[in-house]
Amino acid sequence: MSNVDHENFNWGILGPGGIARAFAKDLALLQGHTVAAVGSRSLDNAAKFANDFGGRAYGSYEELVADPNVDAIYVATPHPAHHDNVILALNAGKPVLCEKPFAVNAPQAQAMVDAAAHNSVALMEAMWARFLPHYAKVREIVASGILGQIHSVHADHGQRLADQGIARLIEPDLAGGALLDLGIYPVSFAHMILGRPSQITSRAVITDKGVDAQTSMIFDYDSGAQAVLTTTMIEQTPCRAVVAGLNGWLEIDRTFYNPAAMRVVLNDGTVTEYPNNYQGHGLREQAETFKQLVSSGKFQSEILTWKDTVDIMATLDTVRKQIGLKYPFEN
Mean predicted confidence (pLDDT) in 136-143: 98
Residue 174 scores a pLDDT above 50: yes
SS3 per-residue string spanning 163-184: CCCCHHHHCHHHCCCHHHHHHH
State mean pLDDT over 189-215: 97
Q: 198: Cβ–Cβ under 8 A, 6 or more apart, which residues?
A: 220, 221, 222
Of the pLDDT bands very low, low, confident and very high (cuts 50, 70, 90), residue 1 is very low
Confidence of residue 271 (pLDDT cuts 50, 70, 90): very high
What integer pLDDT is reported at residue 6 of this predicted model?
A: 55
pLDDT band at 11 (very low <50, low <70, confident <90, very high): very high
What is the average pLDDT across 263-289? Answer: 95
What percent of the chain stands above pLDDT 90? 95
**Mean pLDDT of all residues in 7-21:** 95
Q: Are strands 226-232 and 212-220 parallel, antiparallel or unpaired?
A: antiparallel
Fill in the DSSP letter of residue 69. T
What phi and psi, each to the nearest 5 degrees, are found at residue 282?
A: 115, 5
**Whether residue 107 has a cis bond before it, omega within 30° of 0:** no
pLDDT at 4 over 90: no
Q: How far apart are CA 138 and CA 253, in angstroms?
A: 13
| Segment 46-71 mean pLDDT | 97
pLDDT at residue 66 above 70? yes
Domains of the chain: 9-126 (3.40.50.720), 133-277+313-323 (3.30.360.10)
- Picking from 20, 15, 12, the residue whose alpha carbon sits closest to that of residue 55 is 12
Q: Which of 10, 7, 6, 5 is nearest to 69 (CA)?
A: 10
Q: For the chain, give the mean pLDDT.
A: 96
**Which residues, at least 6 apart from 49, have a Cβ–Cβ distance to it below 8 Å?**
13, 16, 20, 21, 24, 38, 40, 55, 57
In which band, very low, low, confident or very high, does the pLDDT at 7 lie, cut at 50, 70 and 90?
A: confident
pLDDT at residue 5 tops 90: no
State residue 2's pLDDT score.
43
Q: Is-cis flag, bond preceding 255, omega within 30?
A: yes
End-to-end CA, the chain: 35
Strand bridging mode 123-126 / 96-99: parallel
User: What does the angle CA 299 – CA 22 – CA 14 come to, to the nearest 5 degrees?
Assistant: 50
- Please give the pLDDT value at position 330: 87
pLDDT at 279: 85
Q: Is pLDDT at 302 greater than 90 in this prediction?
A: yes
Q: Does an H or E element contain 318, and which?
A: helix 306-323
